[in-house]
Structure 1
Amino acid sequence: MSRPPLSPERVIDAASRVADASGLTGVSMRSVGRELGVEAMSLYHHVASKDALLDGLADWVFTRIETPTPHGSWRAQMEARARSARTVLAAHPWGLGLVESRRSPGPATLRHHDAVLGCLRAAGFSVALAAHAFSVLDAYVYGFVLTEVNLPFQPGEPAEDFIEELRAVMAEHPHLAEMVAEQVVGRDYAYGDEFDYGLALILDGLEARFREGS
């Protein structure tokens, strides 16, 4: 069976698989070539450089995050986008350090950013409040995912097992012990459940500012 021809899209897709397996530090023209079963030099006909490869990966992430539209509720649109971004970045955590770091953003990145601002502006947000909303929502999502993927226990592993290891020092930290006793022990606690609560707090605050005309 013949191998499908190389294209920029195939190269970037292969780079995403390398990043999933080895992180961004594992991404190189050579490693992507190996993933595709070709020599690294053949990739330069489709992606000009390692920097262009990373630009393409950042764009690849944004193609997978739900893009808002100027129609319907701005709050529902921002909520859906935040949840989508969390899902995508949790699946591809190498994107956390990449998506806002590129000096040459690609077309999907630019379209996505413009759509977020366009949704808020269509709802009546001022330019300044739209910018503030964009910033605080992304900071929350990125920060939450960064914490979530680096927790000292795995998804599905009972948090109580981890807490049990700390029981000996809890007596020295009464407020922490109180929170654990009330929120974690016997409650099938999952850190990921905090996401919706925090997102609602931020959206409530933005909605209040919007109504005030700030």
Structure 2
Amino acid sequence: MLDAAIQVADRGGAAAITMRRVAQELGVEAMSLYHHVPNKDAILDGVVDAVFAAIKLPSADCDDWREAIRERAYSARAVLSRHSWALGLMDSRRNPGLATLRHHNAVLGVLREAGFALPTAAHAISLIDSYISGYVLQEVNLPMTTPEDVEEVAGGILEHLPADELPYLREMIVDHALRPGYDHTNEFGYGLDLILDALEARRK
């Protein structure tokens, strides 16, 4: 049932998850779902838990806390890019499932075992998760996914850009975005490393 609800949301967003549509996905009557779940909220709780379960759990036994958090961040980005509709649900549910709780506990465990004070660990989790969510939200709405797309979009902007009025923007496009080998998806790792560097400086 949860797989069916996720498929519905992947096509139409979180708002598309209704008892009727999930039942249609399964090829059954909507009333039959009530034999398995009490209401729509239970399905929403379940799909959020399933999304968390798909994100790689970091290990508190890892010798390098940065690598553990980095791997988890890349995994979260990949999962949420496939299910971006979950971004609006993940922090809104009042009845988190076991996978969700295990996930939060594992991330907290990595930071605490690395020597972060509890308040700093809490700040770190908020900062990292906000960065991942914001990046994914931006990424899924960008009008480009490949270097060819970047060249087309940036070239189109450059064509109509008043260079005398906007010299720094022109410089960014010509000397950065349109340079051979530029890949805008690498920005995620750059930003993540900046965050991890800053957190390392406050680890105590």
TM-score band, normalised by shorter chain: over 0.9
User: CA 1:113–1:121 in structure 2 vs 1: closer, same or farther (change >3 Å)?
Assistant: same
Kept after mapping to 1: 8 A contact 2:19/2:40: yes
- Aligned equivalents of 2:47 and 2:124: distance in 1? 25
- 1:7 paired residue number: none
User: CA 1:170–1:135 in structure 2 vs 1: closer, same or farther (change >3 Å)?
Assistant: farther
1:55 is matched with which residue: 39, 45, 58? 45
- Aligned equivalents of 1:166 and 1:78: distance in 2? 37
User: CA 1:203–1:38 in structure 2 vs 1: closer, same or farther (change >3 Å)?
Assistant: same
Kept after mapping to 2: 8 A contact 1:159/1:189: no
- Aligned equivalents of 1:186 and 1:200: distance in 2? 23
- 1:46 paired residue number: 36
Say which SS state the counterpart of residue 76 (structure 2) adopts: helix
- 1:8 paired residue number: none
User: CA 1:47–1:184 in structure 2 vs 1: closer, same or farther (change >3 Å)?
Assistant: same
1:165 is matched with which residue: 132, 140, 156? 156
- Aligned equivalents of 2:132 and 2:139: distance in 1? 10
Structure 2 segments unaligned to the other structure (5+ residues)? none
2:199 is aligned with 1:206 = yes
Q: TM-score normalized by structure 1?
A: 0.90
Q: Which runs of 4+ in 1 moved over 4 A?
A: none
Structure 1 segments unaligned to the other structure (5+ residues)? 1-10
Say which SS state the counterpart of residue 115 (structure 1) adopts: helix
For 1:110-189, list aligned pairs within 5 A: 110-155=101-146, 157-167=148-158, 168-171=160-163, 172-189=165-182
Say which SS state the counterpart of residue 185 (structure 2) adopts: helix
Q: TM-score normalized by structure 2?
A: 0.94
User: CA 1:170–1:66 in structure 2 vs 1: closer, same or farther (change >3 Å)?
Assistant: farther
2:177 is aligned with 1:193 = no
User: CA 1:21–1:156 in structure 2 vs 1: closer, same or farther (change >3 Å)?
Assistant: farther
More divergent stretch after superposition (102-111 vs 184-193):
184-193
Code of the residue aligned with 1:145 in structure 2: it is: V
Say which SS state the counterpart of residue 132 (structure 2) adopts: helix
When the two structures are aligned, how many residues end up with a matched partner? 201
**1:85-143, CA deviations, whole angstroms, 9 ceiling, x for partnerless residues?**
00000011111111111111111111111111111111211101110110111011111
Code of the residue aligned with 1:187 in structure 2: it is: P
- Aligned equivalents of 2:81 and 2:180: distance in 1? 24
Q: CA RMSD in A?
A: 1.3
Kept after mapping to 1: 8 A contact 2:147/2:182: no
1:20 is matched with which residue: 10, 19, 25? 10
The sequence identity of aligned pairs, in percent, is 52
